[in-house]
C-alpha cells in the first residue's frame, strides 16, 4: 500500500511539473516568443523532472535508513536509478550545456549525500550491533571508560573517546592486534 501511495505521489508531482511548464511554453508560443525562449523552458522542464525524481528518491532513502525500513530504502534506490539513467541517456543529448552541467553537478551532489548516508548508517542498515573491543578502569573520577567500537589510531598515540583520552597501546589495542 505504501508503494502505491509513493507511486501516485511521484506521478502527481510529475504531472504538476509538466503542467506548469507546458502552460508556460504554450503562453510563450502564443505570445510568439523566440525559439530560444521555448528551448530554455523545455530545458528547465527536463531538468526539473530529473531533480524532482532524484530528490524524492533521496527522501525515500533517508526515511528508509532513519526508520530502518528496508522496503522504503530499496524503493528509494530503485527510484534513484531513473534520474541517473535519464541524465546519462537523455539529458546529456537534449539539454543545453549550462543545464547539462547543472544536471551533472546536482546528480553528483545527491549521489554523494546518498553514499554518505549509507556509509554513516551502514551498521544500522545491516542490523549489526557495535562490538566493544576492550575497556579499562583507570580514568579520572573512577569511572569506567569503554573505547570506541572501532580500532583507530597507532600504538602509543592517544585516541579521544567520549571526551576522555587514553593510549591505544595501554591494553594492546591499535593496528596489528589479533585479539577480537
Q: Cβ(91)–Cβ(103) under 8 Å?
A: yes
Tell me: do 13 and 78 sit in the same domain.
Answer: yes
If one compares 84 and 2, the residue with the highest pLDDT of the two is 84
Tell me: pLDDT of 55 over 50: yes
pLDDT digits (tens, 9 = 90+) for 4-24: 888 899 999 999 999 999 998
Tell me: do 85 and 136 sit in the same domain.
Answer: no
How is residue 163 annotated by DSSP? T
Tell me: do 179 and 134 sit in the same domain.
Answer: yes
Q: Exposure of 54 by Cβ count < 10 A (0-12 exposed, 13-18 middle, 19+ buried)?
A: buried
pLDDT, mean over the chain: 74
3 state SS for 77-126: HHHHHHHHHHHHHHHHHHCCHHHHHHHHHHHHHHHHHHHHHHHHCHHHHH
Cell triple for 162:
567520549
Tell me: do 43 and 99 sit in the same domain.
Answer: yes
Question: pLDDT class for 40, splitting at 50, 70, 90?
Answer: confident
Tell me: do 11 and 28 sit in the same domain.
Answer: yes
Q: Which helix (H) or strand (E) holds 160?
A: strand 158-161
Tell me: do 141 and 116 sit in the same domain.
Answer: no
Q: Which domain holds residue 60?
A: 2-126
Give bridge partners of residue 161 from the DSSP assignment: 164
Residue 39: partners with Cβ closer than 8 Å, 6 or more residues away? 96
Question: pLDDT class for 119, splitting at 50, 70, 90?
Answer: confident
Tell me: do 148 and 122 sit in the same domain.
Answer: no
pLDDT of residue 127: 65
pLDDT of residue 120: 82
Q: Give the chain's domain count.
A: 2
pLDDT of residue 92: 82
How far CA 173 is from CA of 59, 70, 120, in Å, comes to 39, 35, 24
Task: Read off the pLDDT of each residue in 138-158 and give the average, rounded to a whole number.
Answer: 46
Tell me: do 66 and 80 sit in the same domain.
Answer: yes
Tell me: do 57 and 34 sit in the same domain.
Answer: yes
pLDDT above 90: percentage of residues in the chain: 12
Phi, psi of 43 (to 5 degrees): -65, -45
Tell me: pLDDT of 141 over 50: no
Tell me: do 140 and 169 sit in the same domain.
Answer: yes
Tell me: pLDDT of 155 over 60: no
pTM recorded for the entire structure: 0.61
Helix 2-30 to helix 70-86 angle, to the nearest 10 degrees?
A: 30
Task: Read off the pLDDT of each residue in 77-105 and give the average, rounded to a whole number.
Answer: 85
Amino acid at each position: 500500500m505504501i508503494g502505491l501511495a509513493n507511486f501516485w505521489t511521484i506521478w502527481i508531482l510529475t504531472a504538476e511539473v509538466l503542467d506548469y511548464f507546458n502552460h508556460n511554453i504554450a503562453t510563450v508560443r502564443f505570445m510568439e516568443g523566440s525559439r530560444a525562449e521555448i528551448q530554455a523552458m523545455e530545458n528547465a522542464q527536463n531538468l526539473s523532472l530529473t531533480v524532482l525524481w532524484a530528490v524524492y528518491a533521496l527522501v525515500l532513502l533517508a526515511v528508509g535508513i532513519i526508520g530502518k525500513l528496508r522496503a522504503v530504502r530499496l524503493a528509494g534506490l530503485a527510484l534513484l536509478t531513473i534520474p541517473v539513467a535519464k541524465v546519462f541517456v537523455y539529458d546529456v543529448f537534449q539539454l543545453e550545456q549550462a543545464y547539462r552541467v547543472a544536471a551533472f553537478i546536482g546528480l553528483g551532489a545527491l549521489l554523494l549525500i546518498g553514499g554518505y548516508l549509507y556509509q554513516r548508517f551502514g551498521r544500522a542498515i545491516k542490523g549489526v550491533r557495535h562490538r566493544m573491543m576492550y575497556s579499562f578502569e583507570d580514568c579520572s573520577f573512577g569511572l569506567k571508560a569503554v573505547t570506541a567500537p572501532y580500532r583507530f589510531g597507532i600504538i602509543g598515540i592517544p585516541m579521544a573517546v567520549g571526551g576522555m583520552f587514553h593510549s591505544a597501546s595501554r591494553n594492546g589495542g591499535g593496528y596489528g592486534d589479533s585479539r577480537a
